[in-house]
Amino acid sequence: MYRVLITDGMEAKAVEKLRSLGYEVVEQYYEPEVLGEVLQEFDVLVVRSATKVRKNIIDKALEKPRLKLIIRGGVGVDNIDVAYAMERGIKVTNTPNASSASVAELALAHMFALARFVNISNVTMRDGKWEKKKYEGIELAGKTLGLIGFGRIARELAKKASALGMKVVYYDIVGKIEGYDCCEYCSFEDVLKRADFLSLHIPLDKQKGTIIGKDEIALMKEGAYLINCARGGVVCEEALLEALNSGKLAGAGIDVFVEEPTKNEALLSHRNVSVTPHIGAQTIEAQTRIGEEIVNIIDDFFRNSVI
């Protein structure tokens, strides 16, 4: 019987489905110092964001080579040393389709929150303040949405923003994407310069590190907004805070942080920041789709592989 370890949780019906297909499923989080040894007794590891699968864990697991498949329930795989795992004969995959709509909707929610002061007025009203005259916002219609990265999530956001009457410009390392004539492909610098709202949809490259820092923010419009529902490390939090304090940026919507849970109180408490605790994929619908996709990946892998 193939054994599956789920360390960061999975939708209950998906777990039940795996068991009904004959897999032994264990749902348990393990600290890094013991995870590698535990994995010696499993064929599959399913993680989300909390579990980090680094070289030392992979090496320890393969002292008794049973682990064959690692699945990241979600889009990014930066918490896994993918290339090293693949070199050691472990397949690594993710669920790129399942959470696109949910993350796109959260990015849009942050845009609305900032444009209409939903974030800060929620706080001040609960403090007994009625600051109506302070909260003269803006409409999203007619504004330019700039997208850095134009994968599945960004394309979902582009469709929703276009429906609201926003102009969409984008940059992607692969160039212009066919079939999206309603959106304008631009250079990286032009997207920064033109965007009223800049939304990031790029993975964290550990070698490149920060993508949006002081120099990139300097290229942006005065009073623009930055939205990051991608990965915390792609934005320099120090440069972002400086831009918010100076007024260079009017606001920021942040779902992801360099360190999670974040200890950056200055950013969390800033009146021009809308924050959420990495909940991009945390919808009932997305979790259901992620669970279904994980079940299919596991079952297809063992049905079609010669082990």
Of 189, 259, 260, 285, the active-site residue reads: 260
Is 260 annotated in the active site?
yes
Q: Are 254 and 59 spatial neighbours (Cβ–Cβ below 8 Å)? A: no
Amino acid at the residue 196: D
CA-nearest of 98, 39, 31, 99 to 64 is: 39
Q: Which residues contact 54 (CB under 8 A, 6 or more apart)?
A: 32, 81
Q: Catalytic residue among 72, 201, 270, 278, which?
A: 278
Beta strands in the chain (DSSP E): 3-6, 24-27, 44-47, 69-72, 91-94, 144-148, 167-171, 183-185, 197-200, 224-228, 249-254, 273-275
Check whether the bond before 261 is cis (ω within 30° of 0).
yes
* Given the residues 110, 194, 231, 270, the one annotated as active site: 231
Residue type, 90: I
Q: Kindly list the catalytic residues.
A: 231, 260, 278
